[in-house]
Amino acid sequence: MSCWAVVPLKARRTGKTRLAGLLDEAARATLVQSMLETVLSALFEAHEIDRVAVVSSEPERVPHGVLALPDPGQGLNPALTAAADMLLDHGARSLLVIHADLPLVRGSDIDQFVRAGRHQGMALATDRHGTGTNALFVADRLDFPFRFGTNSLSRHLAEARLRHITPALPALNGLAIDIDTPADLACLWPAAAAPFTPTRWSPTPCTTSL
């Protein structure tokens, strides 16, 4: 069963704007790139992933060895739906959607998540607040409707119930801890109140109960 991973990547001008009060534009770009590289490295380490694609309106940011898929600019969910349709033509039979802002994710997290999803037919990874969706896996259901956005976990669960699917919900810190706000950044980097520089980026996980 060919399993593709899809990483949606926002345009530079819209990336991590909620950190603007803490990080300048250059620092935010460095942070975004660092986290993207972490996520892609984890995907390449994972045994359960066959191919990797990035959905972006800026294909020059997609590294060698990763399939660049276009972002039509109509929002995240339509872009992912279009990507899933394209990957069917590339032989995809299962799909992992994973966000690009997971600084602690490892290949072993992804393997555990995908295996749980194969067993249940689907898996969801929530954020540390228990409301968002940081990763979604579907086996043989590439037509599953994406509902990323505010309170996406409950909306994905509702769509699963309509289809008589009981998703796996593995608790994995590597998939739960994302970076959207200064509070998120402070969980990993205790000196978050000080100016960010790439050499000071040394993430350590906050204490979080999942």
- How high is the pLDDT of residue 83? 96
pTM of the entire structure? 0.86
107-120 helix and 25-45 helix, angle to the nearest 10 degrees: 60
Domains of the chain in start order, with CATH, are 3-200 (3.90.550.10)
Q: What is the pLDDT along the chain (210 residues), one digit of tens a residue?
A: 699 999 999 887 666 777 877 788 888 888 888 999 999 999 999 999 999 999 999 899 899 899 999 999 899 999 999 999 999 999 999 999 999 999 999 999 999 999 999 999 999 999 989 999 999 999 988 899 999 999 999 999 999 999 999 999 999 999 999 998 888 877 776 544 444 444 434 444 444 433
Checking 113-120 for CB contacts under 8 A at 24+ apart, the result is 113/137, 113/168, 113/170, 113/172, 113/175, 114/3, 114/46, 114/48, 114/49, 115/48, 116/168, 116/170, 117/167, 117/168, 118/94, 119/168, 120/165, 120/166, 120/167, 120/168
- How high is the pLDDT of residue 188? 74
Q: Detail the DSSP E strand segments found in the chain.
A: 3-8, 51-56, 67-70, 94-98, 122-126, 133-139
